Structure 1
Amino acid sequence: MKQIAFIHDWLSGGNAGAEKVLNEMLRALPGTPVYTLVHKPEDFKGTPLEDAEVHTSAIQHWPRGVSHYRTYLPFMPYQIEQFDLTAYDTIVSSSHAVAKGVLVGAGQLHISYVHSPIRYAWDLYQQYLREANLTSGVKATLAKLALHYIRLWDHSTANRVDVFLANSEYVARRIWRTYRRPARVLYPPVDVDRFDHTHPREEFYFTMSRFVPYKKIDLIVETFTRLGKPLVVIGAGPDFDKVKVLAGANVQLLGRQPDEVVADYMARCKAFVFAADEDFGIVPVEAQAAGAPVIAYGKGGTLETVVADQTGVFFGQQNVESLSRAVALFESKAGQFDATFIRHHAEKFRPERFRTEFMAILEAAEAAKVRGEDPEKAVLALQLEAL
């Protein structure tokens, strides 16, 4: 039996999309050890990670390392390289920052599931500097130098990966642009069974997200305040106070809520509203699992998960006017959206499908490695066969 290890950037900050992918990998390969920079066990109660064998880096023991790990970003490339993985035949990294840069030997197989190349070092570099108020001054210069170093390191470590997996075609294109390497798309798992699509639709719109700038919750709230249409918002984060100021009497800000409350609103809302440019976007798929049509920004992963005029509608620009037109378009078509059809569309993202495809990819890559062939070609050929 091949000895396998998983490596993930960090396990602190909640059970988000990347962590849900890792949990499904653990369900497919229970007992596999996990290496990560920092670990906050209480965030993963009730998941496979709760009982996993987890190894952490030195950052775990640094001042506020678990809670403020992002401040140690310049040290992360060095720390990820300190893990000794020589005992394993196969390394599977789950990476949106530095995990893909782990050191591997010539005889080892490295498969990297990339949720995104480091966005704040590449695509969101200028936006990140603006939002962090790091456009001028000594601190800005140091931040720019650190991110320049991260880009150089990130690009150079692409050669440490045998097979790239991407969570969407959108990310696969970014992997090609950043590393000049092809990637096989393996859509993330979505727990569709959490949701009930049989409830009657009510008249309120719904959105849920972390309150951070790129999620554009402020845009959604401002638009619905102007339209005067009922909107329910679940979520918390640094932008909460900014959004609260924009909210009219027709907007309910419920803060963070348990999963069952989220599922209930998903099941009853008139439509789910999503304004972010996401790499994949699990939440719009969850909404569709609940039978809810989606009003989505027409860029990024949602173009692969929402079907225009069948499971939702798109808007073309992240501004009030464009979203308002999309809401009007949706209401003109509202009668044509069928909850059963929408749910059926979401079924293709089931966790069982993810685990089956993940294991097929892993087995194809390992078999190619044993034969002395190129694992990347074997996995890409597997993708063509699947099509």
Structure 2
Amino acid sequence: MRVAVVHDWLVTFAGAEKVLAEIISLWPQADLFSVVDFFSDAERKKIGGKVATTTFIQRLPQARKRYQLYLPLMPLAIEQLDLSGYDLIISSSHAVAKGVMTGPDQLHICYCHSPIRYAWDLQNQYLIESNKSEGLKGWLARYLLFKIRNWDARTANNVEHFVSNSNYIGRRIGKVYKREATTIYPGVDVQDFAFTPDKEDFYLTASRMVPYKKMDLIVRAFSAMPDKKLVVIGDGPQFDKVKQAAGPNVRVLGYQPFEVLRDHMQRCRAFVFAAEEDFGITPVEAQACGTPVIAFGKGGALETVVEGKTGMFFYEQTEAAICAAISQFESAEDFDPTTIRAHAEQFAPEVFRDKFKRFVDDKCQAFFAGWKHLQ
């Protein structure tokens, strides 16, 4: 079995790249393909030392730092990758990887982190946040996204089977591609987050500080509750905005090493999460520590947090809703750290590897047995 693994781009090692690493661990003989590959040596070790075969975008000016500006060229670029020598193609896609061209005797399975968010239901939010919602620049951006949507919908036909990282994304796949998807949750390194039953009297939020994460919203809410303590870990374009919103009871630590983040996750009273995420890894990591989660009740959090047992939800992204949730949390019965940890363990990497391997093996057996029968 000749196997190819296709990933959108290799620039930073984040959630999608963790899934990629697990896929490569299952098929270490596979060849890797990507639009660009700018991984550091340390990041490359996490994917088995593999160097991807890349596209012409790799050689374009400033591709390392501004690769996303070349998004309009990526559909063309990904279609130029020659996968004709492979039997099984596994794409790990949140943008264009699923658009690789395959033939009738090749099985293509896509692990879909999401259809292209900024081209579909999050288009208007993306245009506003990137200052491209008005004027000639806005019209050009909308036209390019229109073209990408058409390409994205059409190339869903290249895929035999979709796997989604949550039921939430499965519904988005159904809406956009008119295809069914099987949900297999991504693996979370719960073993790296030691169970700690004893908690201290402070709350924690941690994330990259970009608009949709709503870090400034959490900070403003806690600043309006001076008797509550909040620690904020993370960095990003909105760091100054978050810092300015912080009252005396809010400590903004900026970027911190993993050990510092884990220590705060283990000791905090609860982890606060206000983003609408496709899956959301950090709430699971917090639960692995035995820490309850107070999360926005939409998206993947609804599948990783059990209300009343491992945390609770607020249903509006407003300061008032967060304040009410904190008050409700403090008046609720104590959450059992042991129960919270046990819940997090169902998202362990070995669970993902077992389910995904069995899924692919079953589809290969059905596909290739049927194909050989027709020869």
The TM-score with structure 1 as length reference comes to 0.93
Query: After the TM superposition, which residues 296-335 of structure 1 pair with which residues of structure 2 at under 5 Å, given as runs?
Result: 296-333=295-332, 335=333
Structure-2 residue corresponding to 1:56 = 54
Counterpart CA distance in 2 for 1:140 and 1:198 is 49
Task: Tell me the CA shift for residue 225 of structure 1.
Answer: 0.8
Structure-2 residue corresponding to 1:198 = 196
Query: After the TM superposition, which residues 234-313 of structure 1 pair with which residues of structure 2 at under 5 Å, given as runs?
Result: 234-313=233-312
Deviations 1:261-310 (A, max 9, x none): 11111100100000000111011001000111000000011001100010
Assess if the C-alpha contact under 8 Å between 1:198 and 1:267 holds in 2.
Answer: yes
Deviations 1:128-179 (A, max 9, x none): 1111122221111111110000000000001000000000000000100001
Letter in 1 for 2:198: P
Counterpart CA distance in 2 for 1:120 and 1:44 is 30
Structure-2 residue corresponding to 1:210 = 208
Assess if the C-alpha contact under 8 Å between 1:308 and 1:314 holds in 2.
Answer: yes
Assess if the C-alpha contact under 8 Å between 2:44 and 2:50 holds in 1.
Answer: no
Query: After the TM superposition, which residues 1-387 of structure 1 pair with which residues of structure 2 at under 5 Å, given as runs?
Result: 2-12=1-11, 14-42=12-40, 44-45=42-43, 47-49=45-47, 51-228=49-226, 229-333=228-332, 335-372=333-370
Assess if the C-alpha contact under 8 Å between 1:15 and 1:44 holds in 2.
Answer: no
The runs of 5 or more residues in structure 1 that have no matched partner are 374-387
Deviations 1:314-344 (A, max 9, x none): 00100000111000011112x4201111000
SS of the equivalent of 1:93 reads: strand
Alignment: residue pair count: 370
Task: Tell me the CA shift for residue 256 of structure 1.
Answer: 1.5
SS of the equivalent of 1:92 reads: strand
SS of the equivalent of 2:47 reads: helix
Counterpart CA distance in 2 for 1:43 and 1:318 is 39
Change over 3 Å in CA distance of 1:46–1:310 after alignment to 2: farther
Assess if the C-alpha contact under 8 Å between 1:215 and 1:277 holds in 2.
Answer: yes
Change over 3 Å in CA distance of 1:320–1:97 after alignment to 2: same
Counterpart CA distance in 2 for 1:290 and 1:30 is 31
Letter in 2 for 1:251: V
Assess if the C-alpha contact under 8 Å between 1:36 and 1:55 holds in 2.
Answer: yes
CA RMSD, 1 decimal: 1.2
Task: Tell me the CA shift for residue 198 of structure 1.
Answer: 2.3
Letter in 2 for 1:266: M
Assess if the C-alpha contact under 8 Å between 1:94 and 1:114 holds in 2.
Answer: yes
Change over 3 Å in CA distance of 1:73–1:322 after alignment to 2: same
Letter in 2 for 1:346: A
Task: Tell me the CA shift for residue 44 of structure 1.
Answer: 4.6
The runs of 5 or more residues in structure 2 that have no matched partner are none
Change over 3 Å in CA distance of 1:248–1:43 after alignment to 2: farther
Moved more, 151-160 or 38-47: 38-47
Counterpart CA distance in 1 for 2:243 and 2:277 is 23
Counterpart CA distance in 1 for 2:186 and 2:331 is 32
Letter in 1 for 2:203: Y
SS of the equivalent of 1:287 reads: helix
Letter in 2 for 1:103: M
Task: Tell me the CA shift for residue 53 of structure 1.
Answer: 3.4
